[in-house]
């Protein structure tokens, strides 16, 4: 079946400037961390990507190790890109990352120039692309000089393999240093991808301030705490959940679904209902409310979840009383 994009796809999505750059990103972006590997039906992956683009989501976020097995998400995305989105390549922001273990030996992990350049070449090959729009270093490397890692990011932009570069999971201090080095090299840091949700608020301890001061965009991942901030776990652990399946690769572990966290989610759910939102919509809105957040990364296992998530944009204003209630619940 031939895909024909929705002609009204740009009318309902909000687009935000990424830091001090010229790049606009959709306020909601789609991450391909889960549900896009070889263990997932390709036609379901297609349907999710179609729905996302039809709703104005132009940014698809990947990494070298996404999917099961690692690399399969990029390969599946490449197949769908060639089949359905080839004519829309210039309407898309495609990002990938390197920094976690990807192949055996000393050159398949962390942040050396050897690893980052080789990994990006492999990612481009898997996706059938000449360049990605954003290339990230996926995590800090305590053993490689930061100057070397940033020089690798600068190099791939000068080679034309990436248009912009970013970092993920860097501390405020590491982010400040990385931004300074990249600025000196002439390739500014576009964006930071931290883990951020109602349950994971470490970015409020200085990182958001650094991003605002440096003019760096922010795109939080795991805003729903891998499903804990949805209605999925309000009554325990369902058999088909990530927690029950122990998927690994950073997926939720069963010990994260504690009675205390479930009770917090239940109380938050009551507040969400008063706001006319689902718990997931309120959790996404809570992240999006910060003007320093450029976009929020969602995952999806079926197309309907795209529509549900985007509804967070209809109300991301919170009264101070609501924010106080949320803080009290999470205390």
3-class DSSP state of 61: strand
**pLDDT digits 0-9 by tens, 250-285:** 555 556 788 999 999 999 999 999 999 999 999 999
Domains, in order of start, for the chain:
15-224+285-315 (3.20.20.100)
Q: Is 60 helix (H, G, I), strand (E, B) or coil?
A: strand
pLDDT of amino acid 209: 98
pLDDT, mean of each 10-residue run, the chain (331 residues): 96 97 98 95 98 98 97 98 98 98 98 98 98 98 98 98 98 98 98 98 98 98 95 77 51 70 96 98 98 97 97 98 98 90
The angle that helices 303-310 and 279-288 make with each other, rounded to 10 degrees, is 60
Is there a contact between 95 and 154 (Cβ–Cβ < 8 Å)? no
Residue 148's SS3 state is: helix
Give the pLDDT score at 235.
83
Query: d(Cα 4, Cα 6) in Å, to the nearest integer?
Result: 7
Residue 218 CA, distance from chain mean position = 10
pLDDT of residue 306: 98
């Amino acid at each position: 079946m031939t895909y024909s994009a929705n002609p009204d796809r740009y009318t309902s999505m909000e687009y935000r400037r990424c830091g001090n750059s010229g790049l606009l990103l959709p306020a909601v972006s789609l991450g391909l961390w889960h549900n896009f590997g070889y263990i997932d039906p390709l036609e379901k992956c297609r349907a999710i990507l179609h729905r996302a683009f039809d709703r104005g989501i132009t940014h698809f976020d990947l990494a070298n190790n996404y999917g099961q097995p690692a690399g399969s998400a990029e390969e599946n995305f490449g197949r769908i890109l060639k089949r359905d989105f080839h004519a829309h390549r210039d309407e898309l922001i495609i990002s990938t990352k390197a920094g976690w273990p990807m192949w055996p030996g000393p050159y398949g992990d962390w942040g050396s120039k050897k690893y980052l350049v080789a990994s990006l070449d492999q990612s481009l090959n898997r996706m059938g692309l000449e360049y990605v729009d954003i290339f990230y270093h996926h995590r800090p490397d305590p053993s490689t000089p930061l100057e070397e890692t940033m020089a690798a990011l600068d190099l791939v932009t000068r080679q034309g393999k990436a248009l912009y570069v970013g970092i993920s999971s860097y501390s405020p201090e590491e982010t400040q240093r990385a931004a300074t080095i990249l600025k000196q090299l002439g390739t500014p840091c576009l964006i930071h991808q931290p883990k951020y949700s109602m349950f994971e608020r470490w970015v409020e301890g200085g990182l958001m301030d650094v991003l605002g001061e440096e003019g760096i965009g922010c795109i939080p991942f795991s805003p729903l705490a891998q499903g804990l901030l949805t209605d999925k776990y309000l009554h325990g652990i369902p058999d088909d959940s990530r927690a029950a399946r122990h998927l690994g690769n950073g997926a939720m572990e069963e010990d994260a679904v504690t009675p205390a966290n479930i009770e917090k989610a239940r109380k938050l759910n009551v507040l969400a209902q008063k706001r006319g939102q689902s718990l997931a919509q309120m959790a996404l809105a809570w992240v999006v409310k910060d003007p320093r957040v450029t976009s929020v990364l969602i995952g999806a296992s079926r197309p309907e979840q795209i529509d549900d998530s985007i509804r967070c944009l209809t109300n991301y204003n919170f009264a101070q009383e609501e924010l106080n209630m949320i803080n009290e619940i999470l205390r």
